[in-house]
Amino acid sequence: MGTVTAPAPWKQLLLTALESNAHLPHSSYFQLATIGSNGRPSNRTVVFRGFQEDSDKIQINTDCRTRKIEELKHCPFAEICWYFTDSWEQFRINGTVDIIDGSNSDPIKLQQREKSWFSGSLRSRLQYLGPSPGLPNLSEQPSNEVSLDPSTGPVGAFCLLVLDPHQVDYLNLKHNQRLSFTSTPSPNGEKSWTSERVNP
């Protein structure tokens, strides 16, 4: 077992997998599992919105009215499961999730939220103006067309989730290889990663 400091040793494996599967539109989608307030697992598919700056933190855009927000407020632990169909690679990434909505008091986090908002397409931004997700649809009529000024900043329903990885399980089925990566915080606040080859 060898200790490696930043950058995270699994990050390059993930970047390589993203590049080699980039021709597949679904390669930017992964599953995000949370724990419900009833103690049961809750899972959904979300879109990878990149790493935060030069870190190993993973960004996800979501609607603050969705159930996952309440679940993450109840328990901030979550796990990603990401499978790349062309290269037969699976990444299971677990850690804690930071919720950044419009009420956040940290100006740097609010800037990150705004940057993530503008990096999305206008069509994806319009989704946050619709009715609350998951509630009963009582209208027989299709919802009225909504419009949005492309220069307008994030709307209230827009939320940025930032997953800070603690453990990563990497499985390569083509090469029958599995690696386990675990982080430990160092005194200076930076993460130190250990990696271990384990049985597939």
Return the CATH superfamily for domain 2-133+152-198.
Electron Transport, Fmn-binding Protein; Chain A (2.30.110.10)
User: Both ends of the chain: CA-CA distance in Å?
Assistant: 17
pTM here is 0.90
With 0-12 / 13-18 / 19 or more C-beta atoms within 10 angstroms meaning exposed / middle / buried, residue 113 is buried
The arithmetic mean of pLDDT across residues 132-142, rounded, is 76
- For 85-96, the pLDDT digits (tens) are 999 999 999 999
Residue the block writes with tokens 């690696």: 179
Q: Is the pLDDT of residue 131 over 50?
A: yes
Instruction: Provide the token pair at 3.
Output: 């200790």
pLDDT at 118: 96
Is the bond preceding residue 25 a cis peptide, omega within 30 degrees?
no
